[in-house]
Structure 1
Amino acid sequence: MTRISTILVILAALCWGLSGGIGSMLMEEGWGVFLVAFYRGAIGLLFVLAWLCCRPLNHGLGDRRLWGWSVVAGLGVAGNFAFYFLSISHGGVAVAATLMYSAPVFVYLLSFALRLERPSTVKWAAIMVVMLGIVLLTRIHNVDDAGVTVLGVVAGLLSGLCYAVFIFGFKYAAPHGSPQAILSIAFSVLVVVLVWPAQTGEVMAAARSAEWPLFACLGVLGAGLSFVLYVIGLNYTAPAVASIVAMVEPVTASLFGVVVLQEALVASQVLGMGLILVAVTGLSLYSASDALRRHW
């Protein structure tokens, strides 16, 4: 069962990686950032509602704490989707996906400032490596030459921080209800938040457009099927394994950008990407082992 669960988590990360490339294709066709983010979440909502109907017991929908934390999770996932696609439109899929993956580092910095986490030499070393990786990946000294704008960099980092907010909300909502209920509320919040900037007229036009199959693939892979697979897979997957498997998402997104979308990366950017992926994964593994030591 553990092996199957790990495969499910890998498939979820693979789906998320592909969704960045699909979203980029839609934006190249002229569709707006918020519209693409809206459709990813709206189609995901249909999936989790169907999942909720299949598992109607012990959902916890009568608990106000479930609703409160699920709303927080919904705001987080709405920001994550919107900033991610904004970063893609101003920097490319590979850069956006890798910047989002670096979010745990900034969560650590905030935890240090609030004294929620104890600093250590290993943690500071990993953070410095990630910072160096970001400089190399984004080529901050010459962003115009790299094809990455300042807005693309900021949006990529914000997408990661919003993802951390989603995880935070989901974690604290979990004791009060089922994953299906939490995700149903979270995606409903996303739809409400993004429908206005996406514009109702554009939403209707997209449903009648020739690109409708791409919108459907984006929603199914990016939010519907992927979240279901991920939640089920986490039940029997160790945190350390999950942290390694999570690398599938930025790697898949980067390969999609380079191979399919013809995005160009210079050697320094590839080096920066590698530093970020290795450092963040190592930091996650260290945190998981440190938590296990404290537990025992």
Structure 2
Amino acid sequence: MIYAFLVFIGGCFYGILSTIVKFAYAEGYTVNEVIGAQFFFGFILQSILVLIVSRKKVSWKQAGLLMLVGTTMSGTGILYGASLVTVPASIAIVLLFQFTWIGIIIEAITNRKRPSAGKVISIIILLIGTVLSANVINGEFGAISVWGIVLGLLSAVTYALFIIVSGKVATNVPAFNRTMLMSMGGMLLVFAVYPPTFLIDGALLDGLWKYGIPLALVGTVISSTCMIVGVPKVGPGLSSILSSSELPVAVVASALVLHENVSTWQWVGVLLIFVGIAIPQLKVFREKKQSPVHI
């Protein structure tokens, strides 16, 4: 249960990211600067932790694979940010959260095993809860960009891939070393797409660091480490469900911190997401309770 809890907590911390990002945007910082600062400080913080906690040597092959895994993490941020440019935020978040069933399907294909009835029911409840909590019902939509929809779905695919591969690649490498190398790979991809002009134009010292450091701490250090430790033990399919905790936390944070209006339907959606997350765990709890105790 501790590993499932870690994945759940990892998802919760990801949910806090959107609130910090909104504060950064309110001060006039761009997507390029915010994402770049997050991965820049994420790499620095992880490198410091590795120097303090774990100096275990990692082979070049393992390092390369982990850096490649990191590109799925940063790729999600890049694609999701690009999607937000052309589609409403409520639609973009729904598109991103398709990672729940995408992760289940990928797991079923790779393991050549159908998902359990509990997982299917859980996914259905999660999708309904996602639509409600993202306030799609009350959204005002004009002509939605097809390209924006494609980008949003691609962000869901990269997020599902991150959950899956982060739990399978170089699992014998200590968690902090793995996260540091993933952060490096993610940072390099972000810098390739968004040149890090904030490092030389003064934006970093002018105040961008106030958002880059918390984003790195929450999104790169804590969340990624929780996922890296928990996913190998829990499995990618169940991890996709547990990490759905991101959306309800984002909604609650928006209400409490940003004082945004949250409708009754959105609260119903939040409740449904937690129900969807709990269903697979109830089965695990019953199985453990019914298993014989050896003395």
TM interval, short-chain normalised: 0.7 to 0.9
How many Å apart are 1:104 and its aligned residue?
Answer: 2.9
What's the counterpart of residue 128 of structure 2? 132
SS at match of 1:209: helix
Q: Distance in 2 between matches of 1:277 and 1:91?
A: 24
Contact 2:76 2:158 (C-alpha < 8 Å) held by counterparts: yes
Q: Aligned to 1:260, which of 257, 260, 264?
A: 257
Distance in 1 (CA, whole Å) between partners of 2:7 and 2:108 is: 30
Distance 1:150 1:67, change over 3 A: same
Matched, 1:18 2:4: no
Q: Kindly provide the amino acid, as one letter, of the partner of residue 71 in structure 1.
A: M
| Aligned counterparts of 2:284 and 2:152: Cα–Cα separation in 1 | 24
Structure having the higher helix fraction is 1
In the other structure, the counterpart of 1:48 is 46
Q: CA deviation at 1:120?
A: 3.8
Partner Cα separation in structure 2 for residue 44 and residue 141 of structure 1:
36
- Distance between the aligned counterparts of 1:150 and 1:141, measured in 2? 20
Q: In the alignment, is residue 212 of structure 1 matched against residue 209 of structure 2?
A: yes
The Cα of 1:58 is off from its aligned counterpart by: 3.6
> Equivalent residue of 1:82, what SS?
helix
Q: Which moved more, 1:48-57 or 1:134-143?
A: 134-143
Q: 1:187 — aligned with what?
A: 183
In structure 1, the residue matched to 2:119 is 123
Preserved CA contact (<8 Å) 1:40 1:218: yes
Alignment correspondent of 1:78: 74
**Unaligned ranges ≥5, structure 2:** 291-295
In structure 1, what is the Cα distance between the partners aligned to 2:287 and 2:95?
Answer: 25
Q: Could you say which residue in structure 1 is the equivalent of 2:293? A: none
Aligned partner (choices 12, 33, 36) of residue 35 of structure 1:
33
Distance apart, 1:281 and its partner CA = 4.0
Question: By how many angstroms is 1:282 displaced?
Answer: 2.2
Q: Aligned partners of 1:49 and 1:56: how far apart in 2?
A: 10
C-alpha displacement of 1:79: 1.7
Deviation at 1:270, TM superposition (A): 3.1
Asked if 1 retains the 8 angstrom alpha-carbon contact of 2:82 and 2:148, the reply is yes
Aligned match of 1:274: 271
What is the distance in 2 between the residues matched to 1:149 and 1:79? 20
Q: Are 2:94 and 2:134, in contact at CA under 8 Å, matched by a contact in 1?
A: no
Is the 8 Å Cα contact of residues 244 and 277 (structure 2) preserved in structure 1?
Answer: no
Q: Confirm or deny: 8 A CA contact 1:35 1:203 kept in the other structure.
A: no
In the TM superposition, residue 193 of structure 1 has moved relative to its aligned partner by 0.7
Q: Deviations over 1:88-135 (max 9, x none)?
A: 77655x886776566232211334456633144333333333333344
Q: Distance in 2 between matches of 1:184 and 1:141?
A: 40
Residue 188 of structure 1: how far off its partner (Å): 1.0
Cα distance in 1 for partners of 2:173, 2:93 equals 31
- Give distance in 1, aligned partners of 2:147 and 2:284: 31
Q: Amino acid of the residue matched to residue 68 of structure 2?
A: V
Identity of aligned residues (%): 20
Partner of 2:104 in structure 1? 108
CA contact (8 A) 1:32 1:198 kept: no
Query: What is the TM-score of this pair, normalised by structure 2?
Result: 0.72
* Matching of residue 199 in structure 1 with residue 195 in structure 2: yes
Residues 1:173 and 2:186 aligned together = no
Q: Alignment partner of 1:70: what SS? A: helix
Distance 1:39 1:232 in 2: 22
